Amino acid sequence: STTNSMNHGRFRHTATVLINGKVLVTGGWSDGALNSSELYDPLTGTWTTTGTMNYTRDYHTLSVLTNGKVLVTGGYTGVDALNDAELYDPSAETWIMTDSMNNARYDHTASVLPNGKVLVTGGRTGIILNSVELYNASTEIWTTTVSMNNARSDHTASVLPNGKVLVTGGYNSHGTLNSSELYDPSTETWTATGSMNDARYMHT
């Protein structure tokens, strides 16, 4: 079955399901980077515009925090990579700036850990990054943590049932990667794990 269309055509955007069940779509590209946001209500099948981000961005990430707010990180304006981060409050439908990341990046990943912190890995600016940082939702402060063994962008990061984070594939100056590594939040360390059978990037 079909449902209603968004108010703005866009690609390279992000979408996430909020605690209230609505879907928040942010940014992306349409003849330029966008800062507009929209909400989809699955009960009515309708889209409504909501608060506008402070920065235009695509290739960014969107993470629902344990307090229900939504953290957007990094991205690309069409000219520059961003280190800026913003918080969306679903109850007020507003965006406010929060602490900036230590490194500008896009084509990165962001994962909400069991302890409520957000782990951001890799991505690119003019170069491809192996740097990693953590956002503390309680203090709204970013701290650097141990870098990955491999620089990578366009990779994936998955939080496992044991709380560790599996990073797979991606791309760097050596080409497309089949390597994988595990992040342990309790020790803040990365260890190599089995490689995929096929190298890949921009995968899911």
DSSP string, 20-43: TS-EEEE--BSSSB---EEEEETT
DSSP letters for 40-70? EETTTTEEEEEPPPSS--BS-EEEE-TTS-E
Confidence of residue 113 (pLDDT cuts 50, 70, 90): very high
- pLDDT at residue 86, as a whole number: 99
The pLDDT of residue 10: 98
Q: 142-189, pLDDT tens digit by residue?
A: 999 999 999 999 999 999 999 999 999 999 999 999 999 999 999 999
Give domain limits for the chain: 1-98, 104-204
Report yes or no: 164 and 188 within 8 Å, Cβ to Cβ.
Answer: no
> What's the confidence (pLDDT) of residue 72?
99
pLDDT in tens, 30-84: 999 999 999 999 999 999 999 999 999 999 999 999 999 999 999 999 999 999 9
Pairing of β 165-168 and β 23-26: unpaired
- With a pLDDT cut of 70, the percent of the chain lying above it is 100
Nearest Cα residue to 149 out of 184, 189, 112: 189
Q: What is the pLDDT of residue 64?
A: 99
Position 8 confidence tier, pLDDT thresholds 50, 70, 90: very high
Nearest to 69 by CA among 20, 14, 120: 20
pLDDT: which is higher, 25 or 126: 25
Q: Is 180 helix (H, G, I), strand (E, B) or coil?
A: strand
Task: Report the pLDDT value the prediction gives residue 1, as an integer from 0 to 100.
Answer: 82
Residue 2 in this model has a pLDDT that exceeds 90: no
Residue 171 main-chain phi, psi, to 5 deg: -140, 140
**Mean confidence (pLDDT) of the chain:** 98
| E strand segments, the chain | 14-17, 23-26, 37-41, 46-50, 61-64, 70-73, 85-89, 94-98, 109-112, 118-121, 132-136, 141-145, 156-159, 165-168, 171-172, 175-176, 180-184, 189-193
Task: Please report the pLDDT score of residue 171 as a whole number.
Answer: 98
Phi and psi, residue 165, nearest 5°: -120, 125
Contacts of residue 170, defined as CB under 8 A and 6 or more positions apart, other chains included, come to 122, 150, 152, 153, 154, 155, 156, 176, 177, 201
